Amino acid sequence: MEYFADKFYLLSIMALPFLLAVTLHEAGHAYAATAFGDTTPKRDGRLSLNPLVHMDLLGTVIIPLFAVMTGFPFLIGYAKPVMIQPANFKGSHRKAMILVALAGPAGNVVVAVFCAYVLRFVLQGGATGEDWIVNTMYYGIFMNCLFMVFNLLPIPPLDGGAVLEQLLPRELAQKYASIAPYGFFILIAVIMLAKDIIIVPTMYMTGLVVWAVNVPI
């Protein structure tokens, strides 16, 4: 019973940060694509901060639950990808694609900073490390920094892969993009065999956000 109590408490402090993370990430893509002239996200109803609009049963519910209950190294998961039509972009398509890809991780930075300010406020108000809100907001900072770092890995179909694809010469970019179907297996290998590639920059970014917001810890 204690095992399940610990897991359910862990889920309770992870749920809100996770929903904020995947929602702002996909909303970032949607708003950026719209700013460059693509109306597809608006037509699909993705210009929203409502988590229900972006939820995916497998990626937003089943996989995160499985990760928590099995003690996976990270809370992994995703929301429904925002569909875009680069042909609708105004100006340089390559520049637009890079900025649209980076808008997702930027959304995670926004959430991390928001959680840091909430954490600062509640700590200054007398909350301690035993309080649910403190654990939830700290995890919100960490998780969103994790999502930012994770999605910037140069592996298709992650955002980092999309950025690198746009920077490569066209022929090389096409060959690079062809590994996308194997991206999931590459990611699992990285998580299981070289997780410090993700953990070290995540901890650095978490500390940087806490320092920048002047959280009293």
* Cα(156)–Cα(42) distance, integer angstroms: 25
For the entire predicted model, the pTM comes to 0.89
Comparing CA positions, the residue from 93, 101, 141 lying closest to residue 117 is 141
- Write down the domain spans for the chain: 2-84+94-213
What is the spatial distance between Cα 88 and Cα 165, in angstroms, rounded to a whole number?
A: 19
- pLDDT tens sequence across 126-179: 998 889 999 999 999 999 999 999 999 999 989 999 999 999 998 898 889 888
**Per-residue model confidence as pLDDT tens digits over 76-112:** 788 999 999 998 998 888 999 999 999 999 999 999 9
Which pLDDT tens digit goes with each residue over 22-47?
Answer: 999 999 999 999 999 999 999 999 99
Write down the number of H helices and E strands in the chain.
Answer: 10, 0
Spatial CB neighbours of 189, under 8 Å, sequence gap ≥ 6: none
Which pLDDT belongs to residue 121? Answer: 96
pLDDT of residue 21: 92
CA 176/CA 167 separation, integer angstroms: 11
What are the tokens at 103?
């808008």
What's the pLDDT at 77? 81
Distance CA 206, CA 126 (A): 22
